[in-house]
Amino acid sequence: MNPKKLQKLKKKVRHAPLSQRPTTYIDRMTAYYHQFNDYPAIKLLISNVLLADKMLAAGNLPQQLPLLQLPDDSQDQIYQKINTLYAPGDATGDQLWNDLTAALPQLDHDLRSFRDYLETHYGMWAYTPAPFVTDLATFVGDRAVLEVMAGNGYISKGLRDAHKTVFATDSQAWTAENETGRHPLTPIEPLSAVDAFHKYQDQVGVVVMSWSPDGLPLDWELLQAMRAAHTTVDFVVIGEPHGATGSTEFWDHAEFIENADSRALNHHFTQIDLVQDHVYLVK
C-alpha cells in the first residue's frame, strides 16, 4: 500500500462515526493488540488504551498516555518484519502484509478516537491521569479546593484520595445528554460554577475548572465573578484556547500566569490526540 493510498483510507475511516464501526471500541482494540503483537511500537499504543480503560472501569484514575498516533514508519516496520519471516513472493507473507496494512487506517482512526470513547462511556472529557492529579495535589498543598464543572468527579476523587479538602460541584445540566454526571466517582454538589464560587470563595485557596463546555460563556461568567470578588485564590483551568473548550470571551480575556507552578502542572498533563489542551493558571 503506497502512502497516498494509506492517506486516503485514513481520511475515509477518520470521518466515520464510532457508532458505525462493526464491533465495540474495546473489542476492536483487543483484536488489534493480538493482530499487531509482533510490532512493539504499535502494540504499546494499543496496550496503553486497554490499560487506561481497565483502570477507569475499576473506578481508578488512569495512567499517563503517549500521543495516540501511529508511527510514521508503521508500514516500514511491517515490511521489514515480514521480510525476516517470509521469502519474497511467499503467499502467506503477502497475505499478512495485506491484512496488516489494510488494518492501519482503522487502527489510526480508533487510536485518535479514544477521547470520544472516554466521553461517551465514562463521561471523561479531559483525560485526567493519576500523575497529573498528584502534581495538582502538590500544588494545592494544605489549601482547600473548589472544583466547578466537576462532571463525574475524576479530579475531585483524585484530590480526595490524596487527603485534600475538596468541594466538588457541577450544575448536572448534561446528565440527560451524555454520561457526564451520571456515574460520579465521588459525591458532587449540584451547583453552577458561579453559585459554587459564591458559596465557597471564603473557604478555598484553589478553584479548578476542567473543560468548560465549548461555546458557552459559563467560564467567562465565573472569571468575572472571581475578579469582582477580588479573590486571591489560584484559578487552575484545563482546556484548549479557542479550540475544543470554553468560550471566546473567556480565552480573549484570560490572563495567563507562566511560572514554575504552571510548568509543573503540565509535566504529566500531555497531549494524547489532536486536541491541544493544557493546564493554565488564570487570573
Residue 227: domain span: 124-282
Flag whether the pTM goes above 0.75: yes
Same domain, 79 and 106: yes
Same domain, 145 and 36: no
pLDDT at 179: 56
- pLDDT tens profile 71-91: 999 999 999 999 999 999 999
Span 112-128, mean pLDDT?
95
pLDDT mean over 59-79: 96
pLDDT category, 181, cuts 50, 70, 90?
low
Residues 137 and 261 in one domain: yes
Tell whether 214 and 80 lie within a shared domain.
Answer: no
What is the band of 135 on the pLDDT scale with cuts at 50, 70, 90? Answer: very high
Instruction: Rounding to the nearest 10 degrees, give the CA dihedral for residues 17, 23, 24, 27.
Output: -140
pLDDT at 12 over 70: no
Co-location of 180 and 197 in the same domain: yes
Shared domain check, 145 and 18: no
Does residue 6 carry a pLDDT above 70?
Answer: no
- Structure-model confidence comparison of residues 5 and 234, the more confident one: 234
pLDDT band at 252 (very low <50, low <70, confident <90, very high): very high
Domain boundary among 93, 121, 149: 121
User: What is the average per-residue pLDDT within 33-49?
Assistant: 98
CA angle in degrees (0–180, nearest 5) for 281-222-192: 120
- Pairing of the two strands 234-239 and 166-170: unpaired
Q: Name the 3-class secondary structure at 279.
A: strand
pLDDT at 180: 61
| Mean pLDDT confidence for 140-154 | 97
145/166 Cα distance (integer angstroms): 5
pLDDT of residue 54: 97
Pseudo-torsion of CA 33, 66, 159, 142, nearest 10°? 150
**Are 98 and 139 part of one and the same domain?**
no
Whether the predicted pLDDT of 33 surpasses 50: yes
Q: Could you tell me if 136 and 80 lie in one domain? A: no
Number of separate domains in the chain = 2
Residues 191 and 210 in one domain: yes
Residues 26 and 132 in one domain: no
pLDDT(100) > 60 = yes
User: Do 172 and 199 belong to one domain?
Assistant: yes
Task: Please determine, for residue 16, whether its predicted confidence score (pLDDT) is greater than 60.
Answer: no
pLDDT score for 172: 85
**Domain identity same for 238 and 116:** no
| Final residue belonging to a domain, choices 54, 86, 121 | 121
**Which of 121, 140, 164 finishes a domain?**
121
Supply the pLDDT for residue 267.
Answer: 98
**In this predicted model, which residue has the larger pLDDT, 55 or 21?**
55
Residue with the larger pLDDT of the pair 174 and 270: 270
Instruction: Using pLDDT thresholds of 50, 70 and 90, give the confidence band for residue 231.
Output: confident
Structure confidence at residue 14 as a pLDDT band (50, 70, 90): very low
Taking 70 as the threshold, does the pLDDT of residue 210 lie above it? yes
Give long-range contacts, CB 8 A cutoff, 24+ apart: 241-246. Answer: 243/275, 243/276, 243/277, 244/211, 244/214, 244/275, 244/277, 245/211, 245/212, 245/213, 245/214, 245/277, 246/212, 246/213, 246/214, 246/219
- Mean pLDDT estimate for the chain: 91
